[in-house]
Structure 1
C-alpha cells in the first residue's frame, strides 16, 4: 500500500487539497487493489480561507511517506513556512515522490528539489517562479511535468489531471479511468497540453465536436486523416483545427495520437495480444510505428511498459516509467 501524505500549513488553497484527498482517499467501487493510505500532515490547527483543519500528523511524518503532495500556496508573495520547506526537502532526500499542485511549486522550489528540473505552476505565476528561482526550468505552457520523483502541475483542473496521472502510473489506465468516471471528468489529458484552453473537452450535445470525438474513439484502428474527420464533422479542415485547438488545446492529429497511445496502454495492461496486433488495433499499422510513438510519448517501449504493469503491485514512490527505464519492472 502506497503511503500518501498531504503537506499542509496555514495559507494552503482548499481546492487543491480537496482534489488530492478525493482522488487518493478511497478506491472506486469494484477496485480491489490495495489503495492508498492517505494522511494530512501539518502543524497544529491549519487555517486556509474560511476553513480550519486538524492534521492527522505533524510535518515530521512526511519522511515516512512514499508520495508527498503539496497543495497550492495562496500568497506566492510570502515565503512558505521554513518548517514546511524543510519537511518537504527531508522527505525528498529520504526517497519520497514529491508532488506540487498549482502554486505548491513555490514550496518545492524553496526546498531546492526543483533545481535543474523542468517544472510548471499556474500560468499567472510562472514568471514569478522563474525569476525567483533561476535554477528551475519553468515551462508555462503545460498542464503538468513528470520528472519521475518530482512532479508539478498547473492550476485547478490540471491538479486533478496530475493526480489521475499518478493513479495511472501506480495502478494502470483502467483504474485511473474508474477514478475519473467517479469524479465525472475526462479520463486523461496529457501533461504536454496547453494550460490555457478556452473550453473543456466538449460534453454538450450541440458542441461542434460532441459527436465527432466518440466517432473517432470507435475507429482508432482505422487510418484516419484530418480530411476524414472534417468530412464527418461537415466542416473544413481549417475550421476543424480551430475547434480542436479551442476545445482540447491541441491539433486533431495530436489528439488522435494521444487516444491511440492511451488505447495501446490499456491493451498492454489488460491483454496478451502481440505488439503487432495492438499496433493494428490502435491504427499504428506496424509494431515499429507503435514502438516509435509509444517510446516518444511515454519514455519506454511497449514491451517494457507491459512488463512493468504485469509485475507485482508497486508500493514505492517511483513512477511506472522510471521503474521500467531502470530495469526494475
Structure 2
C-alpha cells in the first residue's frame, strides 16, 4: 500500500527522515506500507535543501515537482497543480504531510480534492498569530486532515476545541526530536570553528527570519544592536537565512561581535547550538531542539505555537521589542536561567508510533 510523503522546505526534512527509516524497517520485516517521497521544490537552494538529504540519509525523491519560487500564492498554486497531476497519473492511498510550510497545505488540498485521505504530522499547534503564513498553513491543513499526529497534549487540545474527535488524534511525540537524538553523536564543528577561535559555552547562536523581525531595516538594525550589546562581546554566530540577507545588506554600523555565516548543514548547525552559551532565535523548531539539548533559548517573538518549550523546556519568550533583550541576557549571565525538562514522548521513538498507527488505519 503506497503512501506519499511530502517534503518541500528545510523544516520538513528533519521530520520526514525518521519516518522514512521507520517505514523501511517495517518493510524489511514484512510490513504492508510502501512510500513515495515527493519533493515539491519549495526550497530549491542547495544550502537549504540538498545537504539535508545527504546528511540525514534521506533517499533521493521519487518525484520532484520543481515548484519553487514566486509569491506565496504562485508557489501554492504551482505545487497544487503539479501534485494534482501526479496523483491523477499515479494515485496513492494516503498523503502524509508534515509541519506547516506551503507544501504541507498545498498538497493536503490537492489530495483531498481527489478523495485521497490526509495525515498531518505535527498537527494542532497554534500561535494564534494570523500574520504568520505558517499559522494559516496549519489551520487550513488541519481543517481538511483525516488523521492527526501531535507533538503534545496541548496540540491535541487545540484540535478537540475545534471539534476533532479523539479517535482521529494520535499523541505520538516529535519526529524532529527523533532526528536530533539519532544524529547527536554525528554532530561536527563547522569549517570556521577554529578560524574564529570558538570555544564551548563562550559564544551565542542567532537565527532570525520572520518578517516582523527582519523585513524592516530600521527595527532589524535595532535588534542587532541589542544583541551585540547584550552578549557582552562574546562571538555571536549568525547563519543568515536568504530572506534575512536581503535586509541585512541595508543595515549599517553592525555590532563587531556578530559573525555572519552561510546557512549551515544540519550536523554543523546543531553542533553550534549544542555547545552555545545560548541561542537567540525566532524559529519554533530550534526552540524544540534547544529544549532537548538543555541549551538556554531566547525567542524574539510575542507568541509561540510550541508552549511546551516555555512551560517545560529551556525557552523564554522575550518578544520583539529590542529593549527586552538586555534584561533577559543579564538574567542568563547571572546564572539564573531555568534548567528545563523534556516534554513527554520526545524520546526518539515517535516515527515508530506513527508507522504503527498508519498500519492499523490503512490496513485494518
TM-score with structure 2 setting the length: 0.33
TM-score with structure 1 setting the length: 0.36
